[in-house]
Structures are given as C-alpha cells and as structure tokens.
Amino acid sequence: MTASSVLAATSNSGAEIVFWVCATLAVIGAVGMILSKKPVHSALFVALTMINLAILYVALSAPFLGMVQIIVYTGAVMMLFVFVMMIVGVDASDSLIETIKGQRWAAIVLVLGFAAMLIGAIVNGLQGVPDPSLVAANAEYGGNLQGIAKIIFTDYVIAFEVTSALLIVAALGAMLLTHRERHTPKATQEERSKARFLRYAATSELPGNLPPAGTYARHNAIDTPALAPDGSTVPASVPGPLRERGNVRPVDVAAEVEVEEISEGKTVVAPINDEDGEQR
C-alpha cells in the first residue's frame, strides 16, 4: 500500500510495475549473494542487484545515475571481482560449517526482527512523502546530468573534492598491501640462463621450464600440482609459498588410478595437444 502510494503520486502505473519487479529482483540478488556457496555466484548475484538498481534509477528519471551504476558497478567493479576470483582460483573450498553455537539462529531471528522494525518504521514514515521523481528537477537544470553537475560543484563541492583523498588512500593501501618491491636487483635473462646451466652442471637439474600448476591434473587451480607423464606429481609446479605453508592439494586416488589406466592404455583418450612443448 505504501509503495503504491508513493508511486501513485506519479500516477504512472508503468513505473509501479517496474518498481515492484526490479525491487524484488534486487532483493533476491542481495539475499542470493549472501546465501550462495560459490563466490562467483555471489558476484553474479551482486551484478543482478546492481542492474536492477540501475533500472530503478532510470525509472525515477535519473538516467545518468542509472548508466553510471551499470558501467561502474556492474561493468567494472563486479567483473573485476569475477576476474580476480577466476585467476586466483578460489572455489568453494572455505569451510561453511558454523562453529559458533546458535550463531545462525540468532542471526536469523535478529535479522527478521530488525527488518520487521525497520519496515514498520519506514512504512509509517512514507505517509505523505512527495513525488520522488526527478522530472521537475531535470527540467529546471535542463537535464539529469546538468542537475547532478550543478549540485556536485556547488553544494557538495567539498564532499566531492575530499572524496579524492579517499581514493588516494585506497590506492595507497592497495599498493602497501600488495605491491612487491625487490630488495635485490632483478636478475637479467642472461644471468638466469647462466645460473640454470651451471646448476645443471652441478646437480643435473634440468634447465628447462617446469610444468605449470595443474598440468594434467583435475584442476587448474594454483595449488594443484602438475602430473608427470608417469602419473607422479611434480611438487615444484606449485608456487613455493604454498608449499611452505603445506597448502598443496593432494592428488586424489581416483586421478592416480585414471592416470595409471591411461598410461597402461586401458582408457582411450584424445591425443594431447603438446605443440607448445610445455612438457618435458
């Protein structure tokens, strides 16, 4: 009743339908983000929410905000998230078993109570709130974008300017936590090559490339060791830090049996494309 009363002011039943559809989808996206077990699904759910919010903006005559919402959040931020997850290879490996007694039930009860109270308060508060549409404002400034520009550079100019401080801090923080500086000069290709062959001379360690993590294995995640043609694992294919911390994913028995069968010719497999000569 209330939302309809809000939108009734616009006397636009089309906008009302849009609101209910998009708002529902946005909430579904938000809840789905929390409930889904795979991070990628969560990210996609967020994208769903963002898109629906964008549609709501457009429906409220704020097309610029709607576009920015899609371009920045859905397009840039969320896709970046998905890329990162794909590259790092995170899958649903985090344990989702709740160890704190009563945590989930308490959380559910509290969330429901909180939501009920807030909804009650907001429903109460929406009585007689005027038309939320920006049609009038847009008309005054000659467009949505012009209106926003005016406000950003007059009333909120300080907020706008100091947001740059926030962005600098964010960039600086990202650098601080992730940027790897070298404490020794980087060895040139020549030096490394020489060292490789000297090592070969000394220890007979082959100078060629190691297989990357996940070669022939069931996963291509970075913690999965490559399998040599004889089915044994190549621990050196997993990055050193992971090995140090014992985070190497063991090759499961099924995979070993499978590899053995392949090597004995019991299972027919498609020929491996080894034109890049990665394996030794």
Partner 1 sequence: MNSLLAAGTSPEFALPSIEYRLISPILLVLGMAVISVLVEAFVPRAHRRVVQLVLTFSTLIVALILVVMLAGQRAVTAAGSLAVDGPALFMQGTLLVLALMAALLVAERGVDPAGDAFAARANALPGSIDEREFTKRGWLTTEVWCLFLFSVGGMMLFVTGTDLLILFVALEIMSLPLYLLAGIARRRRLLSQEAAMKYFLLGAFSSGFFLYGSALLYGFAGTVDLGGIADAITANAGQNGLLIAGTALIAVGLFFKVAAVPFHQWAPDVYQGSPTAITAFMASCVKVAAFGAMLRIMYVALGGVRWDWRPMFWVIAILTMFVGSIIALTQTDVKRMLAYSSVAHAGFLLIAVVATNEEGLAGAMFYLLAYGVATIGGFGVITLVRDSTGEATHLSSWAGLGKRSPWVAGAFAVFLLSFAGIPLTAGFIGKFAVFEAGVAGGAGWLVVAAVLASAIAVFFYGRVIVILLFSVPAADGPTVVVPSSFTAFAIAAGLSLTVVLGIIPQPFLDLAEKASIFVR
Partner 2 sequence: MNISSTLASVVASGQIEASNIDPSVNAPAVATGAFSFMWLLIALPLLGAAILLIFGKRTDKWGPYLAIAMSCGAFIVGAVMYLTMLGLPANDRPVNLHIWDWVIVGDFQAPIGMQLDQLSIIFVLLITFVGSLIHIYSLGYMKHDPEKRKFFAYLNLFVAAMLLLVTADSYLLLYVGWEGVGLASYLLIGFWQYKPSAAVAAKKAFVVNRVGDVGLSIAIMLMFVTFGSVTFSGVLEDPAAANESTLTWIGLALLLAACGKSAQFPLQSWLLDAMEGPTPVSALIHAATMVTAGVYLIVRSAPIFDAAPDARTAVMVIGAITLIFGAIIGCAKDDIKKALAGSTMSQIGYMILAAGLGPVGYVFAIFHLVTHGFFKANMFLGAGSIMHGMNDQLDMRRFGALRKVMVITFITFSCGWLAIMGVPPFAGFYSKDKIIEAAFGVNVIVGAVALLGAGITAFYMTRLWTMTFTGKSRWTDDNKHPHESSAVMWIPMAILAFLSVVAGFMLAGAIETWLAPVTGFEETELAVSSLVMECASLALVVLGATIAYLQYRRDVPLVAPQHVSPLTVAARQDLYGDAFNEEVFMRPGQWLTRSMVFFDNRGIDALVNGIAASLGGLSGRMRRIQTGFARSYALSMLAGAVIVVATLILVRM
The residues binding partner 1 (CB under 8 A) are: 117-118, 120-126, 129-130, 132, 134, 136-137, 140-142, 147, 150-151, 153-159, 162-163, 165-166, 168-170, 172-173, 175-181, 183-184, 241, 244
Binding flag, residue 172, partner 2 (CB under 8 A): no
User: How near is the Cβ of 134 to partner 1 at its closest, in Å?
Assistant: 7
Q: How far is CA 69 from CA 40, 135, 204, in A?
A: 20, 19, 58
Q: Check if the beta carbon of residue 145 is closer than 8 Å to that of residue 61.
A: no
103 binds, among partner 2, partner 1, none (CB under 5 to 8 A by kind): partner 2
By CB under 8 A, name the one of 86, 111, 171, 201 that touches partner 2: 111
The SS3 of residue 227 is strand
**From 31-39, 61-69, 105-113, 176-184, span contacting partner 2 (CB under 8 A):** 105-113
> Judged by CB, which is closer to partner 1: 222, or 255?
222
User: How near is the Cβ of 130 to partner 1 at its closest, in Å?
Assistant: 7
In sign, the C-alpha dihedral spanning 152, 156, 158, 161 is negative
By CB under 8 A, name the one of 84, 117, 149, 168 that touches partner 2: 117
The angle at the Cα of 115, spanning 109 to 117, to the nearest 5 degrees, equals 100
CA distance 55 to 69: 9
Extended strands (E) in 209-253: 226-227, 233-234
Q: Residues 126-158, buried b or exposed e (16+ Cβ, 10 A)?
A: eeeeeeebbeebbeeeeebbebbeeeeeeeeee
Name the β-bridge partners of 227: 233
> Judged by CB, which is closer to partner 2: 126, or 272?
126
The SS3 of residue 197 is helix
**From 114-122, 165-173, 178-186, 246-254, span contacting partner 2 (CB under 8 A):** 114-122
By CB under 8 A, name the one of 1, 34, 96, 100 that touches partner 2: 100
> Judged by CB, which is closer to partner 2: 108, or 135?
108
By CB under 8 A, name the one of 110, 122, 172, 272 that touches partner 2: 110
By CB under 8 A, name the one of 13, 24, 103, 163 that touches partner 2: 103
Name the β-bridge partners of 233: 227
User: How near is the Cβ of 119 to partner 2 at its closest, in Å?
Assistant: 11
By CB under 8 A, name the one of 27, 31, 84, 118 that touches partner 2: 118
Question: Binders of partner 2 among 37-76, rule CB under 8 A?
Answer: none
Of the chain, the end-to-end C-alpha distance in Å amounts to: 71
Quote the tokens at residue 56. 């709501």
Instruction: Return the amino acid letter for 37.
Output: K
Binding flag, residue 114, partner 2 (CB under 8 A): yes
Q: Check if the beta carbon of residue 49 is closer than 8 Å to that of residue 29.
A: yes
- What are the residues binding partner 2 (CB under 8 A)? 99-100, 103, 106-107, 110-111, 113-114, 117-118, 120-121
